[in-house]
Amino acid sequence: MTNLNQSSSFNILIKNQQQWNLLMENLENRNVTWGGKYRPTEINNWNDFEEDTVITIKDSKLTYGRVENLAYPTLKFTDDNVILVG
């Protein structure tokens, strides 16, 4: 997985529930939280936007939204890694 620098901000595209789960599991031990309170696996909002979901990590905090709201460099999550999207 990409190195998560505490000052970095980026989006991660998520295409299915399995990818959401894998990403949240990967973020568990990386000092990333939902709003500074909840561990990544404690919240599951996949059903809100499903295949149009984007996860945003900014200053080690997670948020999520629709793919139309991309404000940072964007990564694509695959079942085994995160890769940079052109």
Span 39-83, pLDDT tens digits: 999 999 999 999 999 999 999 999 999 998 787 888 887 776 666
Q: Is residue 33 part of a domain?
A: yes
Q: Is residue 85 part of a domain?
A: no
Q: Is residue 81 part of a domain?
A: no
In whole angstroms, what is the distance from residue 26 CA to residue 23 CA? 5
If DSSP codes are grouped into helix, strand and coil, which group holds residue 21?
Answer: helix
Q: Is residue 68 part of a domain?
A: no
Q: Is residue 66 part of a domain?
A: no
Q: Is the dihedral angle over the CA atoms 62, 7, 10, 15 positive or is it negative?
A: negative
In whole angstroms, what is the distance from residue 31 CA to residue 62 CA? 11
Q: Which domain holds residue 54?
A: 8-60
Residue carrying the six token digits 């973020």? 27
Q: Is residue 2 part of a domain?
A: no
In whole angstroms, what is the distance from residue 20 CA to residue 5 CA? 21
Q: Is residue 34 part of a domain?
A: yes
Q: Is residue 69 part of a domain?
A: no
Domain count, the chain: 1
- CA 70 centroid distance within chain: 12
